[in-house]
Chain A
Amino acid sequence: MIVKSSARVFVSWVIGVGLIFVITGFAAAADTIKLGVAGAHSGDLASYGLPTKRAAELVVKEFNAKGGVLGKKVEILAEDDVCKPEVATNTATRLVSGGAHVVLGHICSGATKTALGIYKDAGIIAMSSSATNPELTQSGKYPNFFRTIASDDAQARLDAGFAMDVLKVKKIAVLHDKGDYGKGLAEYARSFIEASNKAKVVLFEGITPGAVDYSAVVNKIKQSGAEAVIYGGYHPEASSIVIQMRKKRMNTYFISDDGVKDDTFIKVAGKAAEGVYASGPKDTTKNPLAIAAIAAHKKAYNADPGAFFLNGYAAAQALLTAIQKAKSTKYADVAKALRTEPVDTPLGRIKFDKNGDAIGVGFSMYQVKNGVYVETSTAASDPAAPKKKR
């Protein structure tokens, strides 16, 4: 009997304390700006999510030190979705019911996609630092979605555009290594070239990674009369192909991706690497804001920041600055501010296009000159280039 009643007392005590928290929570809602931060904060993929959460904390600290946003302190509501779409719906619901004004997240494309519907219905803007699936912005289904990372097809668009507009070639061979990354890039590149009508894809092939030699493929490139090769894949195969092309005295342009923009490529291919083009993420190492953000992270956590940290930092800054400039937390006002008011971030000066992709974020074209990759000035890296529905 005694045990039972003490249990009852305990339960009511728990409910009572819980109620106090809930009430104080509602009370606090009145005078803070709530920044929801959703993503993988535990589990296998926590290393993708935690840097963005830390970035948000640093940005919020910085804003609060300057007096907050719209005269109110900014508060973080962090929710974990472990990068799983089935968890992300709950995460999103909790953030919505917790009163988040804007959401920084999610981290993985799949989880982001499921959560976006919930935010859309609730009239909340979500901005991801790392979800790269092209559909998220290009499908037009999620007008409340923004991101500070270039989509998966941005590199392909840059590579294809560079070949057609800067090098002005008419015949392009597109090769890939049959892997997810390389093949995906090659297929995007092919569809951009075919849609533009400026050049023709004369050869589209997958090569076998690790094969003994690539002379047959190189012969085929020669036979096809291609003026440029766009290769999706990694440096080991790229170096073999380039070496064999140059051995056959072919001066065909060779354009590739981030997997080839690696110093090992230059080391292995040696002289043959000269003049090769490869796209890679924009250089942010000279941006003072990036240097400051990384220094702040080192001071707070005594470690180098992880993946997508600068993207997360930029996203948090963009969201809070947009609220400040819009002088409102209303959906339409904030969305308009994001699209019209540029903001200085560690990724450079960015604003967002009508699909929600950040303009000025993404990839640049590099060329090997005297044994090092040099950023070419002619690169027009713009994820906001003409969209094509798929």
Chain B
Amino acid sequence: MDYFLELFFGGLTRGSIYALIALGYTMVYGIIELINFAHGEIYMIGAFTALIVSSVLAFAGLSGLSVLFLAAAAAIVYSAAHGFTVEKIGYKPLRQAPRLSPLISAIGMSIFLQNYVMLAQTSDFLPFPSLLPDLPFLSDLEIGIGSTEAIILMTTAVSMVLLTLLIKFTKMGKAMRATAQDRNMAMLVGVDVNRTISYTFIIGSTLAAIGGVLIASHIGRINFYIGFIAGIKAFTAAVLGGIGSIPGAVLGALVLGWTESFATGYVSSDYEDVFAFLLLVIILIVRPSGLLGRSTAQKV
């Protein structure tokens, strides 16, 4: 049972991280029907910013939680700025173009950002300090959950709640939902669509930056390529849950995290990805629009 619980919490942690990144994919897709491949790179840039800022702060003599919060804040600002700029440069000029054009532009942005970080920083792996505080009482409880896992779970849960509140109850959230339903109609009734899309990218990038700081502290190393695999997995999670649906992205991410964790624990880690993608295929056969996706009939 202990073993089961450990795998359960491991999968939950992994799923929470996927969820933070998957939300960015699903929000952007919901609004402009674009798969933003550069999203994984935004997550990686968040991790790098946090590393640089925390090293500077540690050098300046700060320690503990202040470093964590300042580094996370810097990561959020910097990632959000990148997300905003990527949209303005890469996607906005192509908004009326055929759907393949922004997709290619997104792949180009992803490759550009990877190489830009590699050249500006390094291609080596860098150690990432464990910024998250240690909570010794958790290991004493012996329920198979470590302090970093607990912090990741809590942060993700809080981010989800805030995001839901933002979308449900604020003016911007309303504008987002309106734009997602029908962009032209939203424009006609006075929604500033460009601003709404920019906000979507900023919010998605913020979540990715939080994910970047959390996961980098958890695994303790980063390089310019970490965004790629995390991005692919998060994208899978978003599709699994039904791309465009926010609760779907979270559910998909958790299902993916658990599948990987249990497949490793009870079968073999050789087949971790095999099981994850097998599940994706089965779910898409049974429910082509994903777990919580709406099946939208194409109007003819």
User: Inside 8 A of A222's CB, which chain B residues have their CB?
Assistant: 6
Residue in contact with A239 in the complex, picked from B146, B221, B273, CB distance below 8 Å: B221
Tell me the minimal C-beta distance from B13 to chain A in angstroms: 7
Chain B's interface size range is 35 or more
Residue of A whose beta carbon sits closest to that of B271? A206
Do A223 and B229 touch across chains, with their CB atoms under 8 A apart?
no
| Cα distance, A235 to B230, chains bound together (Å) | 19
Contact residues of B: prevailing secondary structure: helix
Do B220 and A268 touch across chains, with their CB atoms under 8 A apart?
yes
| Cα distance, A207 to B271, chains bound together (Å) | 9
User: Inside 8 A of A210's CB, which chain B residues have their CB?
Assistant: 225-226, 228-229
Please provide the 8 A-B residue pairs with the shortest distance between their CB atoms, ordered closest to farther: A216-B264, A215-B10, A206-B270, A268-B127, A216-B261, A219-B6, A243-B220, A268-B221
23 residue pairs A–B, Cβ–Cβ below 8 Å = A205-B269, A207-B272, A210-B226, A212-B230, A217-B264, A219-B6, A219-B265, A220-B265, A220-B269, A236-B125, A236-B221, A239-B220, A240-B221, A243-B221, A247-B146, A247-B148, A248-B146, A249-B139, A264-B124, A267-B127, A268-B125, A268-B220, A272-B220
- Report which A residues bind B (CB closer than 8 A): 178, 205-208, 210-217, 219-220, 222-223, 235-236, 239-240, 243-244, 247-249, 264, 267-270, 272
B203-238 vs A, Cβ < 8 Å mask (1 yes, 0 no): 000000000000100111101011011100100000
Known A208-B269, A212-B230; judge A219-B220 contact (CB<8 A): no
Tell me the minimal C-beta distance from B153 to chain A in angstroms: 13
- Report which B residues bind A (CB closer than 8 A): 3, 6-7, 10-11, 13-14, 17-18, 124-127, 139, 146, 148-149, 215, 218-221, 223, 225-226, 228-230, 233, 260-262, 264-265, 268-270, 272-273
Residue of B whose beta carbon sits closest to that of A213? B219
User: Inside 8 A of A217's CB, which chain B residues have their CB?
Assistant: 264, 269
Contact residues of A: prevailing secondary structure: helix
Tell me the minimal C-beta distance from A272 to chain B in angstroms: 8
User: Inside 8 A of A178's CB, which chain B residues have their CB?
Assistant: 270
User: Inside 8 A of A219's CB, which chain B residues have their CB?
Assistant: 3, 6-7, 10, 265
User: Inside 8 A of B264's CB, which chain A residues have their CB?
Assistant: 216-217, 220
Tell me the minimal C-beta distance from B120 to chain A in angstroms: 19
